[in-house]
Amino acid sequence: MTPARPRINRLFRFQWEPAQQAHVLLYPEGMVKLNQSAGEILKRCDGSKSVAEIVADLESAFNASGLAAEVDAFLLMAEAQNWINWNAS
Amino acid sequence: MNAPLLIPRRPGPLWLLAEVTYRCPLHCAFCYNPVDFTQAGPELSTDAWLSVIRQARALGAAQFGISGGEPLLRDDIEILVAEARQLGFYTNLITSGVGLTEARLAALKAAGLDHIQLSFQDATREANDLITNTRTFDLKRKVAAMTKAAGYPTVINCVLHRSNIDHLDRIIEMAVEIGAEYLELANTQYHGWAFLNRAALMPTAAQLAEAEAVTERWRQRLGKTMRILFVTPDYQSKKPKKCMNGWGEVFLSVTPDGLALPCHTARMLPGLEFPDVREHQLGWIWHESPLFNRFRGTAWLPETCQSCDEKDNDHGGCRCQAFMLTGDAGATDPVCPKSPDHALIDAALAEAERPGTVKPLVFRDPKNAAKLGRAF
């Protein structure tokens, strides 16, 4: 079984906002401004990557290690906020 | 000269609301549009709207709403949506659904429209058609199904008032039946036509308490499948609300005839000059114009508010409400219990409790507008 892959809920649009100098989630009549790590994680939630692949990608992009816990915690919160759903295998 | 060149500018608007027309096929008695809407000048051209959209996006606005009146009465909103979407706006169409055909929906979808908010007025044909003074109920249900089939989340807004609030259980049930993801239950705010009809629209305290209980029961039952937003009425909550999240802080509205406003009802305020988007750049209007600076921040607040701990949260409340009730747009919003004019609110609430005082509704239509000849 392939692990589930997170993707952004179709009710939201994710984009870079030059005026905010931040990634944001836009939704009907509202906007969430994201901090840098949230933006970098969500940028990778395209429905094609597993959580492990997202972690590996971030660690390589930022030359860091041990990001799994932070990514897990963020995705849990993002799911509770309805920002993401999961593509099953 | 020490020009303050290095002082960082305040942020630009986040919201652009284009009220593209005052024309409307419905005649809702709770409409917030000005009662004298027939006095407005000619509607902006497509090119003038495109220029407004581009300027607002350059200032940093990210949400674009098209509203009215009924925006579908203009045949160019597809062009406006396409431009806004292409510039990175999140695009919202706020509509009664009247005039939304399969062909127009497909064109709006192709233009990149993100979201449609559909208004419902009641859960039964009789009640819907009564308050809107039209026959539109079946059409609205058809439109809801059509937008859902086109892949849009179903977002329904229903304005609550004395004659539909007792049907709330049925209204929510209907929203579930048509598969809504969001339901906004907005208690009438008394502006424009709604102020004129206040006595007929104001629910009793018992009606309101029951409505909140009904909403809570449905929330428990539905969980995440449908979110219900219950907007409490200012009069009963006794808590002034920060006018549009702060005058000149996030919201910029443009009227059908091209006036820029910090809130969609501000046009009724006397003694203010409303900048015309064809004569001024939006950047000047937002940052420099006397109108947008008139009630910005808290420095202008009256003494009642200056000494209050809540002033940064509510900025003294709604300017239009203060004006309509006291004649002074710079007064503390009378819904606040600390306002010297709060007795006006208590009197309006007491009137709602007296049986037999309900007056007939005055419907929002050009004939009544001309006959009344007043702003609210």
Q: With an 8 Å Cβ cutoff, are A31 and B155 in contact?
A: no
The chain A residue lying nearest B66, using CA atoms, is: A29
Which of A29, A28, A54 lies closest to A43, judged by CA?
Answer: A54
Contacts of A19 in chain B (CB under 8 A): 11-12, 59-60, 62
What is the pLDDT, as a whole number, of residue B357? 60
What is the pLDDT, as a whole number, of residue B135? 75
Average pLDDT score, chain A: 92
Instruction: Give phi and psi for A61, each to the nearest 5.
Output: -65, -35
Q: Does a cis peptide bond (omega within 30 degrees of 0) precede residue B69?
A: yes
Contacts of A33 in chain B (CB under 8 A): none
Shortest Cα distance, chain B CAs vs residue A16, angstroms: 9
Shortest Cα distance, chain A CAs vs residue B225, angstroms: 11
Identify the helix (H) or strand (E) that includes residue B66.
strand B63-67
- Across the range A83-89, mean pLDDT stands at 83
What is the pLDDT, as a whole number, of residue B2? 45
Shortest Cα distance, chain A CAs vs residue B63, angstroms: 6
Q: With an 8 Å Cβ cutoff, are B63 and A31 in contact?
A: yes
Q: Is the pLDDT of residue B127 over 90?
A: no
The chain B residue lying nearest A80, using CA atoms, is: B224
Facing A31 at nearest CB: one of B12, B62, B182: B62
What is the pLDDT, as a whole number, of residue B19? 97
ipTM: 0.87
Contact between residue B77 and residue B20 where contact means Cβ atoms under 8 Å apart: yes
Task: Kindly report, residue by residue over B306-337, the tens digit of the pLDDT.
Answer: 999 999 999 999 999 999 999 999 999 999 99
What is the pLDDT, as a whole number, of residue B92? 95
Q: With an 8 Å Cβ cutoff, are A20 and B65 in contact?
A: no
- Across the range B65-91, mean pLDDT stands at 97
Confidence of residue B354 (pLDDT cuts 50, 70, 90): confident
**Interface of chain A toward chain B, CB-CB under 8 angstroms:** 10-11, 13, 15, 17-20, 24, 26-31, 82
Task: Kindly report, residue by residue over B164-201, the tens digit of the pLDDT.
Answer: 999 999 889 989 988 898 999 999 989 998 988 998 89
The chain A residue lying nearest B59, using CA atoms, is: A19
Q: At CB < 8 A and 24+ separation, what contacts does B240-245 make?
A: B240/B310, B240/B314, B240/B316, B240/B317, B240/B318, B240/B332, B240/B333, B240/B335, B240/B336, B241/B314, B241/B317, B241/B318, B242/B313, B242/B314, B242/B315, B242/B317, B243/B295, B243/B315, B243/B317, B243/B318, B243/B319, B243/B320
- Across the range B130-157, mean pLDDT stands at 85
Confidence of residue A16 (pLDDT cuts 50, 70, 90): very high
Q: Is the pLDDT of residue B3 over 50?
A: no
Facing A28 at nearest CB: one of B11, B155, B224: B155
